[in-house]
Amino acid sequence: MLGLDADRLRADLNRLLAFLFHQGILDEQYLQLQQLQDESSPNFVSEVVNIYFHESEKLLRNLRSLLMDREFSDYDKMGIHLNQFIGSSSSIGAKRVRNVCVAFRAASDQNNRAGCLRALELLEHEYCILKNKLHELFQIEQQRLLAAGVRYPMLN
């Protein structure tokens, strides 16, 4: 029963991953990240992603406060933040977030404040989706591990 559950969870996981890939939310970089996870660092992916969430939320806050400032003109600082965001998003394979960041930076390069605001909103939206989906992914992963963990002792 539990074994079947694990299989179902694995299928779920794959389906979700396939969906995320199909939607362009994640790309193959995420798979590479998964490959880095092994016995010595069993929670590697979630660790990285948590750092990513932490950093990203900080960056988003900074970007928002920069843009909300009335005498806003520091597009260069915004560019630096966005570069950071692009870098970290590339690293975990958050493709759509990265793409929005690239567009954001283009708007910022042109000192297009309206564009920046639109991009920021889109970015927050995309980030939200990503975060939810990754949480979902981790949840299933955890359940699967649990299920698998239950099963292994039985086999052994």
Partner 1 sequence: MTFARYTERTAFERPLTSGVAYAVRVLHSEREQFEKHQGWTIKRMDTLEKNPVHKDDYNPDLFEPSPIQEEYAPVIFAQDIISHVISIDLLSGKEDRENVLRARKSGKGVLTAPFPLLKTNRLGVILTFAVYKRDLPSNATPNERIQATNGYLGGVFDVESLVEKLLQQLASKQKILVNVLDTTNQSYPVSMYGSNASDDGLELVSHLNFGDPFRKHEMRCRFKQKPPWPWLAITTSIGILVIALLVGHIFHATVNRIAKVEDDCHKMMELKKQAEAADVAKSQFLATVSHEIRTPMNGVLGMLHMLMDTDLDVTQLDYVRTAQASGKALVALINEVLDQAKIESGKLELEEVQFDLRAVLDDVLSLFSGKAQDKGVELAVFISDRVPEMLIGDPGRFRQIITNLMGNSIKFTEKGHIHVTVHLVEEVIDSIEVETEFSSNNTLSGFPVADRRQSWKGFRTFSQEGSIHPFSDSINIIVSVEDTGEGIPIEAQSRVFTPFMQVGPSISRTHGGTGIGLSISKCLVNLMKGEIGFVSIPKIGSTFTFTAVFTSGSSSSKEYKSQQINNQTNSVSSEFRGKRALVVDPRSVRAKVSRYHIQRLGIHVEVVSDWKQGLSSISRGSSAFNMVLIEQEVWDQDLNGSAHFIDNLEKIAITTPKVFLLSNSISSSRANTTTSGVCNLTVIPKPLRASMLAASLQRAMGDGNKGNPRNGEVPSLSLRNLLLGRKILIVDDNNVNLKVAAGALRKYGADVVSASRGMEAIELLTPPHRFDACFMDIQMPEMDGYVSRVAFRTSLYNSDSEIEFEATRRIRDSEQNINDRIHFGELSVETYNNISNWHVPILAMTADVIQATHEACLRCGMDGYVSKPFEAEQLYREVSRFFH
In Å, how far are 38, 89, 148 from 7, measured between CA atoms? 20, 30, 9
Residues that bind partner 1 (rule: CB under 8 A) add up to a total of 39
> Under rule CB under 8 A, which residues in 79-138 are in contact with partner 1?
79-80, 83-84, 86-88, 90-92, 95, 102, 105
| Of 18 and 128, CB closest to partner 1 | 18
Token duo for residue 10:
């694995």
Contacts of residue 127, defined as CB under 8 A and 6 or more positions apart, other chains included, come to 56, 60, 97
Spatial distance between the Cα atoms of 129 and 97, rounded to a whole number of angstroms: 9
- According to DSSP, residue 101 is labeled H
Tell whether residue 57 is a contact of partner 1 (CB under 8 A).
no
In the complex, which residues of this chain contact partner 1 (CB under 8 A)?
Answer: 11, 14, 17-18, 21, 27-29, 31-33, 35-38, 40-41, 44, 47-48, 51-52, 54-55, 76-77, 79-80, 83-84, 86-88, 90-92, 95, 102, 105
